[in-house]
């Protein structure tokens, strides 16, 4: 066994694999090998993600690593496959879907849990439909960065291990070059995985999938509060309840940082409550309640202010699938009825911290709503509005006011917040060394990021990557992994976007 000085493996062949999804019946997937890239080049590898599966930095530079993650050869000990699922896309039943350009290489036993490794952009599968099975450089860079940005924000997400590029041509709106991003997650099972078997009226396969997911990821659902083993109905209801809770918390996370997913189809909803499938996503610059980040979303179904309700709609589709095994519709609805309160409580908790409020009160909703309306009407920057609130608490209100056309209105709102702070004092024992205002402001900085993956920053990384330069990717990863602490010399990465950023459009082809 080849180990580095850090105790991590220098050789991929030393990884331990489980491949639990591949142990399911063959109806759940198709076994096939990827279609490797021609003359691939490793643009970037993520040492932090690699450590999760026991790989050393040295392993990432090996020829074997490049061959595996360019799709040229299998992962040692893996069991390569493409999974089948179905789903609703933009609210319309789309029927059978599946991994149209993704190949699951295997499931690695990590140091603190298992991780499935999946190539995105590795060629056609039986589920590609009219697609070519490829991914282009720009979308691959965006996904690579986004998953790590969300991780840095503490938001549940898939991770990214490697980004491999090639000169292979790929036709989109224009001819672009191919790339493969390696994604990592404990599981890539989605809501649509359950819809698939329910729609086909195959309860045995649905039960197999439910049992696999519960046993693997939700074993606590097998037990009742009294410690007795739950029957099938009880286990499934508890499973749905936990998925509902995780989804509500995820939506609160998204809303609190101004993140728009762009394509919240049921096949893009993780059964583990992870942010999954980064396509035409966006972190808002100018705040608009009904901001649409996906140029293809002409009806605004997935606008920022609609994401929480869309998540509930998707949960109803999941519950409808489980109705095949649990005919008690009232019991299923009772679980889903808890979603709204769970989301609101979580969202208020997050926004209270962003506003520097220690204990949320019902009347604080009016204070928050008035700020969001002001930001919407004045087209203020989402991220910087909250970040500069902390400076205002320190007595430096000009930066906050500068984000608004009507500076007087911004100051009037801030005075309301200051009055609220006066009713919510910092405990004296917490203020032993610093002034209470400084303690409050520091706490606000700890939850209001300075750096987010704005579209123009991603675009700058893409342009450099097209020239074979990964330095912008490395810089962004450094900033986004620690997004709350200001770093001297990187002020431009925390500034308002340049004028040309308004012309960036992302769509489903991204």
Give CA separation, 359 vs 351, 373, 424, in Å: 11, 22, 7
Structure tokens at 106: 């295997």
Task: Choose, from 79, 241, 253, 267, the residue flagged as catalytic.
Answer: 267
**Is 267 in the active site?**
yes
Q: What is the 3-state secondary structure (H, E, C) of 262-301?
A: CCCCHHHCECCCCECCCCCCEECCECCCCCCCECCCCCCC
Q: Under a CB-based contact definition with an 8 Å cutoff, are residues 140 and 179 in contact?
A: yes
Distance CA 460, CA 494 (A): 14
DSSP secondary-structure letter at 229? B
Q: What are phi and psi of 31, to 5 degrees?
A: -80, 125
Q: Under a CB-based contact definition with an 8 Å cutoff, are residues 12 and 75 in contact?
A: yes
DSSP H helical ranges for 304-425: 307-322, 329-336, 339-355, 364-378, 382-393, 398-401, 407-422
Beta strand 159-171 with 175-185 is: antiparallel
Nearest-10 crossing angle of helices 137-152, 471-480: 20
Q: Which residues are catalytic?
A: 267
């Amino acid at each position: 066994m080849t180990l580095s000085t850090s105790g991590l493996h220098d050789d991929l062949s030393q990884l331990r694999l489980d491949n639990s999804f591949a142990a399911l019946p063959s109806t759940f997937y198709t076994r096939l090998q990827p279609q490797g890239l021609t003359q691939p080049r490793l643009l970037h590898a993520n040492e932090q993600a690699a450590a999760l599966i026991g790989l050393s930095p040295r392993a990432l530079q090996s020829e074997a690593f490049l061959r595996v993650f360019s799709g040229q050869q299998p992962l040692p000990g893996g069991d390569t496959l493409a999974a089948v699922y179905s789903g609703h896309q933009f609210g319309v039943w789309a029927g059978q879907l599946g991994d149209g350009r993704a190949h699951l290489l295997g499931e690695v036993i990590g140091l603190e849990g298992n991780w499935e490794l999946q190539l995105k952009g590795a060629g056609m599968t039986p589920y590609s439909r009219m697609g070519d099975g490829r991914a282009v450089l720009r979308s691959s860079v965006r996904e690579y960065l986004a998953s790590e940005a969300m991780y840095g924000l503490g938001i549940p997400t898939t991770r990214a291990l490697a980004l491999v590029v090639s000169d292979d041509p790929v036709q989109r709106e224009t001819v672009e070059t191919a790339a493969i991003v390696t994604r990592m997650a404990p599981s890539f099972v989605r809501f649509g995985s359950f819809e698939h078997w329910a729609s086909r009226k195959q309860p045995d396969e649905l039960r197999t999938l439910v049992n696999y997911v519960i046993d693997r990821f939700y074993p606590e659902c097998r037990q009742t509060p009294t410690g007795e083993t739950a029957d099938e109905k009880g286990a499934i209801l508890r499973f749905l309840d936990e998925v509902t809770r995780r989804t509500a918390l995820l939506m609160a996370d998204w809303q609190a940082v101004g993140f728009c997913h762009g394509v919240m189809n049921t096949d893009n909803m993780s059964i583990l409550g992870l942010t999954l499938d980064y396509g035409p996503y966006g972190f808002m610059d100018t705040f608009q309640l009904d901001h649409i980040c996906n140029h293809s979303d002409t009806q605004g179904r997935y606008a920022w202010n609609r994401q929480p309700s869309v998540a509930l709609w998707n949960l109803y589709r999941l519950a409808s699938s489980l109705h095949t095994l649990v005919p008690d519709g009232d019991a299923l609805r009772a679980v889903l009825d808890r979603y709204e309160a769970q989301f609101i409580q979580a969202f208020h908790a997050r926004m209270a911290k962003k506003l520097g409020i220690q204990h949320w009160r019902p009347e604080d909703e009016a204070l928050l709503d008035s700020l969001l309306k002001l930001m919407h009407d004045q087209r203020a920057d989402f991220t910087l509005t909250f970040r500069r609130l902390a400076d205002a608490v320190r007595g430096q209100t000009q930066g906050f006011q500068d984000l608004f056309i009507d500076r007087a209105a911004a100051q009037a709102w801030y005075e309301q917040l200051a009055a609220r702070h006066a009713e919510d004092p910092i405990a004296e024992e917490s203020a032993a060394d610093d002034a209470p205002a400084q303690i409050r402001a520091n706490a606000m900085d700890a939850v209001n990021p300075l750096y987010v993956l704005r579209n123009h920053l991603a675009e700058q990384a893409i342009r450099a990557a097209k020239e074979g330069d990964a330095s912008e990717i490395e810089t962004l990863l450094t900033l986004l992994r620690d997004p709350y602490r200001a770093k001297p010399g990187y002020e431009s990465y925390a500034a308002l976007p340049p004028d040309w950023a308004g012309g960036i459009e992302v769509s489903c082809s991204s």
